[in-house]
Every structure is written in C-alpha cells, then in structure tokens.
Amino acid sequence: MKLLVPALALLALLLPVSATAQEINGADTAWILTSTALVLFMTIPGLSLFYAGLVRVRNVLSVLMQCFALTCLMSLVWFAVGYTIAFGSDGVEQGAFIGDFGNMFFANITMDSVNGSIPASLFAIFQMTFAIITPALIVGGFAERMKFSAMLLFSTIWLIFVYAPICHWVWGGGWLGNMGLQDFAGGTVVHITAGVAAVVAAMVMGPRRGFGSVAMPPHNLTLTVTGAGMLWVGWFGFNAGSAVAADNSAAMAMLVTHLSAACGSLAWMTMEWLRHGKPSVLGIVTGMVAGLGTITPASGSVGPAGAVVIGLSAGVVCYFATNFLKQKLKIDDSLDVFPVHGVGGILGTLLAGIFCSTQLGLFSGNGFSDGVSSIGGQLMVQGTGVISTLIYTAIASYIILKLVDLIVGLRVSDEEETQGLDLVLHDERGYDL
C-alpha cells in the first residue's frame, strides 16, 4: 500500500492532463443548480411563512424580516469567511477542526475552478444555502422577543464560530468525517446545531411575557401550512442535492426523504388523535418537519423501509419531546426548534447508524463507513458526532449570547414586547384588514 500511492502519483503524471483534471459533469451541475434554488426556497419563503404563521399577529413581520435579513447577511458572512472555515481551499491539507483561510472572499473560486464534478462556484453557493437556513431555523427559539440588532450580531458570530467549524468537522475534511460519521445532509451540521442553539437562546433570554398563563396561539395557520408544503418540496434539494451528483444516491435520498416526511406527518397526527381526540393541522405539518429533519442525516445511508421506521419514530419521539419541553421543563423555545429539529437530528443521526446496515433484510441500507464493521461500531461514531456537536454548540452559543447581551442587549423591553416587534422595531404592521 505504501508503495502503491507514489506509484499511482507517478502514473498520474504520465497521463495526459485532461484525464487527471477534474471534469465538470453537465447532469450533476444541472441537478445541483436546481437543488441550490430548492434549498434557498426552503428559507424564503418556506421557513419564513412556516414561522410567520406560528407567531402572534403583532410579530408576524419580525420573523419574516429576520429570515429575510439572515438570507442576505449569512450569504456575505459565508462569502467572507464562513466557506473557507468550513471547506478551506482546494488542494490544501485540511485540519481536523477548521479549514485553511485561503478561500476567504471566495479567493480561489473562479470561472474555471472545479469541485468534484461540478463548478466550485456551484458547490460554494449550494453550501451557502445551508449556511442560510441553519441560523434561520434558530429564529424560532427566540421569536417574539429578541432585538433585531442582537439577532443579526448573534447569527453572524454563530455562523463563524459554530456552524462553519462543525460543517468542517463533518463535511470539510475534519475529524468527524474522517472518523466515518454518516451525516448525509446535515443532521448534526444543520439540525442539531440549530436546535441546540435555539433552546440555549430560549433559556438565556427567558420565556415570552405571559408564557404558560396567556394564550399564545398561532395567528395564521394557513401561512404555516403553505410554508410547510414549500419546506417539503425544498427538502428534496436539501437531501437529494447532498449527493452532489445526479445519480442513484440522489434518487434514493429523494425517495427516503419523501417516505419519512409522510410517515412523520401521519405519526404525529395519530399521536394527537389518540391523546387529544382530534387530529390537528399544526400537528400533521409539525410531524412532517420532524420526519424531514430526522431523515436528513440518514438520507444517504438507509433504504425505503428504514426510512419508514425513521419517519414514524420521528413523529412519535418529537411529539413527546415537544410536550415534555413545554409542559414539564417550561422552556419557551417558542416555535419548538429543539424538540423538532434538535431531537430529530439526534434521532436521525443515531438511526442512520442502525439502518445503514446491509444485514437487516428489508430494512437494510447502504453499508457502514470504511473501517466500521458492526452496528455497534457505527453507533459509536454516530454518538460521538451527536455528543460533540451538541456540547460544542451549547457552550459556544451560550458564550455568544452572553457576549451579544453585553454589547447590544438581547431582549426588547417589556413594554415593547407587549406592543409587538412589528411596530416597535420596524414601524410596520403585517395586516391592514
């Protein structure tokens, strides 16, 4: 083996240049162009509408504004430093924890640069859409009470110090990826980081005024259902696009993603029907998000039957997690980001370690990572990914929140909160009916 590597390198030198240079594949490029648009569509308007409907009428614009402004600002942060911390530059040996800084301001991304079988520019913007939606997901944790300025500052620092490094650990050549962590589309990178940051933010900032005593029902569930439908469609780009190719892996990812969304929806709906007596609209769409978030890390690892089990368990586990956080722990994670995305991300990352096995008959998946030979071994790797992501995100998010609190203050005043963020922070009202 030791002799083989230099021998191959020598052989490569002898081949004509065109055979060794990475070549752009048209089909792959077309699919990732499409996927990139789909993932951006998840944030604006999908997630924005999903969240906007869930808040009270006086804060509807504030969450739409937060998601939209994050789309703009996170793009620039990704361009400036985020991308290079996560992925470094081509041809440079990558460290275990962060990428090299050679690609700041997309310095190495030109018309001719290639990443795998697609243009490097396309890979950069495809990943950019993930860096947009992850901070946007956190918005649900601190909705209806955070200052807009504090939200922008927090998200900027968080993208640089939490999202980008963890993205590197898993996808950028860092230690978790090298260890064999199976996280196809972002169970750890996106959903655990967003979920944990949201619940930490909710705890640091405290509950909304009147939480637990005043009714805070969603003001417009039709917006929420509209956004949910867009999320489901957009998620095809998120998961099937994560194959970074137009191939069998992308197609299977789309199939398992869809099945899991369907099963998560039905499972949550059934839980409410059994326990409350009626199936709710909010329940079925929340189950959909749980099913999608949970299949995300597993979407490149499992087969269709495994996806059904993952989706069903997502609907049930996230349902109980939501009730537990709200009713027992009394934490005001306003739009339930942790119990749906965080718990779903954890569950999916772990279940990927089981249903990737090729020995489960109908429930078999695509196999263990290199160097791993059993479900137990793969679960150890998956567990390491979950725990390290969870602990690092919690600590770093806590520090960033405290820092932002010192600089600009996290919360609006009690009076402003009662009046509503739309008027107080933006001088606008969502509806003039």
Partner 1 sequence: MKMITAIIKPFKLDDVRDALHDIGIMGMTVEEVKGYGRQKGHTELYRGAEYLVEFQPKVKLQVAVSSDQVDRVVDAITGAANTGKIGDGKIFVSALEQSIRIRTGESGEDAL
Contact status: 216 vs partner 1 (CB under 8 A): yes
Contact status: 426 vs partner 1 (CB under 8 A): no
Between 141 and 283, whose beta carbon lies closer to partner 1? Answer: 283
- With CB under 8 A as the contact rule, the residue among 283, 300, 344, 385 that binds partner 1 is 283
Contact status: 326 vs partner 1 (CB under 8 A): yes
- With CB under 8 A as the contact rule, the residue among 282, 360, 394, 423 that binds partner 1 is 282
As measured in angstroms, the least distance from the Cβ of 322 to partner 1 is 5
Between 108 and 323, whose beta carbon lies closer to partner 1? Answer: 323
As measured in angstroms, the least distance from the Cβ of 326 to partner 1 is 5
Q: Which stretch binds partner 1 (CB under 8 A): 123-131, 322-330, 386-394, 408-416?
A: 322-330
**Residues in 349-408 at the binding interface with partner 1, rule: CB under 8 A:** none
- With CB under 8 A as the contact rule, the residue among 4, 5, 215, 406 that binds partner 1 is 215
What is the 3-class SS of the chain, one letter each residue? CCCHHHHHHHHHHHCCHHHHCCCCCHHHHHHHHHHHHHHHHHHHHHHHHHHHHHCCHHHHHHHHHHHHHHHHHHHHHHHHHHHHHHHCCCCCCCCCCCCCHHHHHHCCCCCCCEECCEEHHHHHHHHHHHHHHHHHHHHHHHCCCECHHHHHHHHHHHHHHHHHHHHHHHHCCCHHHHHCCCCCCCHHHHHHHHHHHHHHHHHHHCCCCCCCCCCCCCCCHHHHHHHHHHHHHHHHHHHHHHHCCCCHHHHHHHHHHHHHHHHHHHHHHHHHHHHHCCCCHHHHHHHHHHHHHHHHHHCCCCCHHHHHHHHHHHHHHHHHHHHHHHHHCCCCCCCCHHHHHHHHHHHHHHHHHHHCCCCCHHHCCCCCCCCCCCHHHHHHHHHHHHHHHHHHHHHHHHHHHHHHHHHCCCECCHHHHHHCHHHHHHCCCCCCC
The count of residues interacting with partner 1 (CB under 8 A) is 16
- With CB under 8 A as the contact rule, the residue among 301, 322, 378, 393 that binds partner 1 is 322
- With CB under 8 A as the contact rule, the residue among 327, 362, 370, 373 that binds partner 1 is 327
As measured in angstroms, the least distance from the Cβ of 152 to partner 1 is 28
Contact status: 286 vs partner 1 (CB under 8 A): yes
Between 296 and 322, whose beta carbon lies closer to partner 1? Answer: 322
Interacting residue ranges for partner 1, rule: CB under 8 A: 215-218, 272, 276, 278, 280, 282-283, 286, 322-323, 326-327, 336
